[in-house]
Chain A
Amino acid sequence: MAADKPQAVIDQLRTLLPDDGLITDAAGLKPYECDGLTAIREQPWVVALPETEAQVQKILQICHTHKVPVVPRGAGTGLSGGARPMRSGVVLGLSKMNKILDIDVQNCTARLQPGVRNLAISQAAEPHGLYYAPDPSSQIACSIGGNVAENSGGVHCLKYGLTVHNLRGVRVVTIAGEVLELGGPLLDSPGLDLLAVMCGSEGMLGIVTEVTVALLPKPPAVVVMLTAFDSVNEAGQAVADIISEGIIPAGMEMMDQLAVQAAEQFAHAGYPQDAAAILIIELDGAGEEIDSLAGMVSRIVDNAGATSIDIATDSSAQARLWKGRKSAFPAVGRLAPDYYCMDGTIPRHRLSEVLDKINQLSAEYNLPVANVFHAGDGNLHPLILFDSNVPGQLAATEEMGGKILELCVAVGGTVTGEHGVGVEKLNQMCVQFNSMEIEQFQRLKLAWDPDNLLNPDKGIPTLTRCGELGGMHVRHGELPFPEIERF
């Protein structure tokens, strides 16, 4: 085991990086104490901000030699504590590597440094009539490197896919300082698909130093519909009916009453505040097909019991309808001093059952919950409202959140649809995966990072932790405690 916080590391980083590329003072470290999961904080030892891939390589080699843990960080908007620093670790921030290297109109791809903001890609592609489809609500701030690390989604992912589906290539630096070039503006790569496993690996396998994404032509016609329902059940049925009719909308988002009211007060989007649920449906396509498509969807939602259907055809009205949804998190945040955002995915047909149980939990814990739902793909964001100044409320919120995630697993879903495991959902990983599966994840991690230095305490729980929770699935009647605590 190497010395805690070896001075040699600081000395070597100082020679490597310009003055403003290395932060060691308490005031400077402050902004790096947490990511979007603000309840969990730690002061990092140092923050290194490289400007080139060569510097990333050197930083990793230095840390590797001295066995110092490294926590990668993009824009720090992550909601699961993936970029939460370590007391004796180096934060490797990619924010200075923020250049758009190429918009390749020939191949409809963009080549980017990892710190490029998600929205900046579509902005740069706009003059060519192209755009980058995955659009997390945090898109004005979050980085493409963070998107790759989390396999982020957005409201348009139902039709156009998640980050993994729009990613063509990455350059990755491993903890040993080796560079892997995976994919490119290409549609296949030789051997094992390492690009697939890098996507969503939460900074635990390597540092992404360059990203190539696909750009799509902008659809000529777009219609956004706002539909209201008297029950969440009917709204859920409308979603199933639309898909069963063979229609995949560009986006299909549901909000329950509390979320609708919060969003309306915040964004004045024109949402009906008395609705039990609203469904925002975006349809896109060629000019000649859009009217009949909108007609079909209107008929389906009408049959499912919609109480109102508003259709926005001009872009400003559409932007207004989306604004309410995209600002749902901060809007709900105004209802209480704090909120906690969950991120489970469920098979859609279990929606009403899951919402009923969430309501029961809400009553039991006496904590209100607003629900925002990527309805088309079953990704549910219950937002638990609480006040961290009231003793015990944060703990109660976390406990209740854990139960919601376990509920998602119980109905055949998953504990995280797009926000990642980070530090937040380590316990629930013990519920979703058995000990053999967790050990397999660990072996995969150690295959690339044998000293367990890259984001070492994230993503995958230790078996000891699972054992202590008692949530670990038992195999052959024995509880598998490992002799050595590797993670």
Chain B
Amino acid sequence: MDISPRLVDAVQTAQSEHIQLRTAGTGSKRQWLPGSGGQLLVTTEHVGIVAYDPAELVITARCGTPVKEIVSVLAQHNQHLAFEPPQFFGSGTVGGMVASGLSGPARPWGGSTRDAVLGVKLCNGLGEVLNFGGRVMKNVAGYDVSRLAAGSWGALGVLLEASLRVQPMAQSTATLSFEMDAAAANEYCRNLARSYTPLNAVWWNNNQLFLRLSGSAQAVEQKISDLGGHRRLSDQIWRQISDHDHKFFKATYSGGPDRTGHKLWRVITPPGAPLPEHYDVQNFAMEWAGGQRWWWHNDSARVQAYASEVGGWAHVKGEPQTVDETPGKYMLAIKQAFDPHGLFLSPMERGITHAD
């Protein structure tokens, strides 16, 4: 159902009545980054796939459409979203998927959410409905607002519709596991990254390395025999990692370490960055061929120091990402350009360090 008139009306009303809005879908990302304040503008009734032509590799859907629905419609044509969007609590909408810009385990090989965005229809803070990008693969007319909207957490406006590039599913997929410490796993992944490998996910935790191979049946089978390891019966683990259902992401689980006072840090590093000097193998994990690391820790300073030492950055799951003053100033200027009256409350903005 198309409820865009209602959504646009809500924005226009908010503008005239000086109310702030917070856009939300199913609220599935609330553990990742909770919003607060403002009047809730819920998009979940704005549903429906507007266009999908498998041969064109593009799908267009309204923002409230469940990600699940997109995934299953694509699967009927042997296609998928290559960035493997997380679906926390098994739910999530297209709008939330694009606005959060979160990508799953396949990110280094399948690209990010932002990479797949081809176009958006958005209602800005003036209540204007605007179209950027489109349904074609290549489009450089005007600034790339569509990709800017990916990861904007609602700061620029209400995303009404998004067009996404889709990819054919691989013919064959296999999950392998190896007993390996983190240093060995890091080295192993470096070598794989430099050679042509049908690899498309990596997970290390607690001295176990998991790899997902994905490609033609011949290439995958050949690689399995080259690499050895233990072939898992199921590929289930990747869904669990993507959706943070894997026990590693839980504060407590039976037989797990004591995480009292710990927070879950996400550390973005150069993929080949060295490991921290001290870490607990149960509390540390690596993804994205080493480019995304997870660390349960009770000492923020230690984690921050490690991130900056290796040229990366870190934030706590559940808290905004900290942005330095200069880039922050330019981000706020863009926000202002889309939302001059500051109508949209975005949790992302809380992380921007203000000059004052």
Which residues of A come within 8 Å of B, CB atoms?
104-109, 128-130, 150-151, 153, 157-158, 161-162, 164-165, 174, 178-182, 184-194, 196-197, 199-201, 205, 217-220, 240, 243-244, 246-248, 285-286, 288-289, 292-293, 345-349, 374, 376-379, 412-421, 425, 429, 432-433, 436-437, 440-441, 443-448, 459-460
Whether B321 contacts A107 by the Cβ 8 Å rule is no
Chain B 289-333 interface 0/1 with A at a Cβ cutoff of 8 Å (1 = within): 001100000000000000000011101000001110011101101
Residues of A within 8 A of B10 (CB): none
- Kindly provide the distance from the CB of A129 to the nearest chain B CB, expressed in whole angstroms: 7
* A240 to B55 CA separation, bound complex (whole angstroms): 6
Q: Across chains A and B, which 5 residue pairs bring their CB atoms closest together, nearest first?
A: A106-B272, A190-B321, A246-B168, A377-B137, A417-B138
Whether B222 contacts A447 by the Cβ 8 Å rule is no
Contact of B169 among A164, A244, A246, A429 (CB under 8 A): A246
A-B contact pairs, 13 of them (CB 8 A): A164-B144, A181-B327, A182-B327, A187-B107, A190-B322, A191-B323, A193-B148, A196-B147, A348-B56, A377-B138, A420-B140, A421-B141, A432-B141
Residues of B within 8 A of A412 (CB): 134-136
Whether A417 contacts B140 by the Cβ 8 Å rule is yes
Knowing A107-B271, A193-B148, A196-B148 are in contact, say whether A441-B143 is a contact too (CB < 8 A).
yes
* A379 to B198 CA separation, bound complex (whole angstroms): 28
Whether A440 contacts B196 by the Cβ 8 Å rule is no
- Kindly provide the distance from the CB of A336 to the nearest chain B CB, expressed in whole angstroms: 27
Which residues of B come within 8 Å of A, CB atoms?
53-58, 78-79, 101, 103, 107-108, 111-112, 114-115, 124, 128, 130-132, 134-145, 147-148, 150-152, 155, 167-169, 171, 190, 193-198, 215-216, 218-219, 222-223, 268-272, 288, 291-292, 311-313, 315, 321-323, 326-328, 330-331, 333-338, 340, 348, 351-352
Chain A residue with the shortest CB-CB distance to B327: A180
Residues of B within 8 A of A448 (CB): 330, 333-334
Residues of B within 8 A of A109 (CB): 270
Residues of B within 8 A of A184 (CB): 270, 311
Whether A194 contacts B144 by the Cβ 8 Å rule is no
Whether A459 contacts B169 by the Cβ 8 Å rule is no
* A413 to B318 CA separation, bound complex (whole angstroms): 40
Residues of A within 8 A of B152 (CB): 192-193
Whether B150 contacts A193 by the Cβ 8 Å rule is yes
Residues of A within 8 A of B331 (CB): 191-192, 194
Chain B residue with the shortest CB-CB distance to A377: B137
Whether B168 contacts A440 by the Cβ 8 Å rule is no
Residues of A within 8 A of B222 (CB): 286, 288
Chain A residue with the shortest CB-CB distance to B111: A165
Residues of A within 8 A of B223 (CB): 286
- Kindly provide the distance from the CB of A292 to the nearest chain B CB, expressed in whole angstroms: 6
Whether B348 contacts A437 by the Cβ 8 Å rule is no
Chain A residue with the shortest CB-CB distance to B274: A106
Whether A347 contacts B135 by the Cβ 8 Å rule is yes
Of B142, B323, B330, B351, the most chain A CB neighbours within 10 A belong to B142
- Kindly provide the distance from the CB of A158 to the nearest chain B CB, expressed in whole angstroms: 8
Chain B residue with the shortest CB-CB distance to A286: B219
Chain A residue with the shortest CB-CB distance to B312: A186
* A418 to B144 CA separation, bound complex (whole angstroms): 12
Contact of A429 among B142, B167, B193, B315 (CB under 8 A): B142
Knowing A174-B330, A247-B168 are in contact, say whether A437-B56 is a contact too (CB < 8 A).
no
Contact of A416 among B111, B141, B351 (CB under 8 A): B141
Knowing A190-B322, A194-B327, A246-B168 are in contact, say whether A162-B138 is a contact too (CB < 8 A).
yes
- Kindly provide the distance from the CB of A27 to the nearest chain B CB, expressed in whole angstroms: 34
Whether A440 contacts B219 by the Cβ 8 Å rule is no
Knowing A161-B111, A185-B311, A200-B144 are in contact, say whether A191-B136 is a contact too (CB < 8 A).
no
Chain A residue with the shortest CB-CB distance to B311: A184
Whether B270 contacts A413 by the Cβ 8 Å rule is no
Residues of B within 8 A of A436 (CB): 128, 130
Knowing A165-B115, A349-B55, A441-B143 are in contact, say whether A190-B323 is a contact too (CB < 8 A).
yes
Whether A374 contacts B115 by the Cβ 8 Å rule is no
- Kindly provide the distance from the CB of A451 to the nearest chain B CB, expressed in whole angstroms: 14
- Kindly provide the distance from the CB of A378 to the nearest chain B CB, expressed in whole angstroms: 5
Residues of A within 8 A of B57 (CB): 243
Whether A345 contacts B326 by the Cβ 8 Å rule is no
